Amino acid sequence: MKKNKFYIKVLSLFIFGLAYNSNLFSHNLEEAVESIDRDPKNVSRDIYRNPYETLSFFEIKSNMKIIELSPGGGWYTEILANFVHEPGILIAAHYDPNSEREYFKKMRANFESKINENSMYDNVKIVNLNSELAEAHSVDAVLTFRNLHNWIGSQADEIFANSYKALKKGGILGVVEHRANPGTALEIMKKSGYVTEEYAIKTAEKHGFILVSKSEINANPLDTKDHPRGVWTLPPSMRLKDQDKDKYLKIGESDRMTLLFKKL
């Protein structure tokens, strides 16, 4: 009798453990966002970044082949890797490991370490951001989060052109970016990290994309966009450290545009 009770208890714990195994939730976006595999520091940013609403707006499905452009430390990669499974795959287009800039090499190395330490990332392939990204017409969606300001100029043209080439007909381009006030000069955009919707849309359209929809999911009306260190004055960067810390914490993260394009 005691032996039977022991086996029942073990079986219950096993089932309980499976129920909370985040990798089993990969076909459910909401549960992927709530996955225990995510870094708690990243989870704390959800209130500003709205991952469930954003990926839903971008029409992302678990069976898609997706490119994430310049994933940085992997904030969205944690969610996408949990959610996307065969026949889908996640391609992370990161900095070139042979870059002349030490910062780029360090970021790439840190990202690779993150990917290699958890089997959840087994379905993630890493390529160089300055590469062709994927075979032509093979990808369902390309996503970029808060990166466009880093690419302003010829690099943006290269990345958008390669993204368009990689996408299938009807493929999705999802863009989230810090939003500058209309009429902001290009040099100010480069310096501040805020980009106008006009620039983002024209750059995408220049390479054949069609704007399908806009969303205010990631808008922040408290952001005045006139900060001493640009967007990096705000959380999570907080470049001024303790100077006016409470003020910037109350503002929160930047005001952001959320744009959905398609390749027709």
> Which stretches of the chain score pLDDT less than 70?
1-27
Instruction: Output the CA–CA distances (angstroms, integers) from residue 245 to 47, 128, 148, in the order listed.
Output: 19, 36, 26
Peptide bond into 87 cis (omega under 30): yes
Architecture of the domain spanning 26-262:
3-Layer(aba) Sandwich (3.40)
What was the pLDDT predicted at 13?
33
Q: Is 47 exposed, middle or buried (0-12, 13-18, 19+ CB in 10 A)?
A: exposed
Q: Residues 162, 132: contact at Cβ < 8 Å?
A: yes
The verdict on pTM exceeding 0.85 is: yes
Q: HSE (CB half, 13 Å, CA atoms) of 120? A: 22
What was the pLDDT predicted at 27?
67
What was the pLDDT predicted at 216?
98
What was the pLDDT predicted at 193?
98
Secondary structure of residue 63 in the 3-state scheme: coil
Task: Note the pLDDT tens digit of each residue in 168-213.
Answer: 999 999 999 999 999 999 999 999 999 999 999 999 999 999 999 9
Q: Is 111 exposed, middle or buried (0-12, 13-18, 19+ CB in 10 A)?
A: buried
Secondary structure of residue 55 in the 3-state scheme: helix
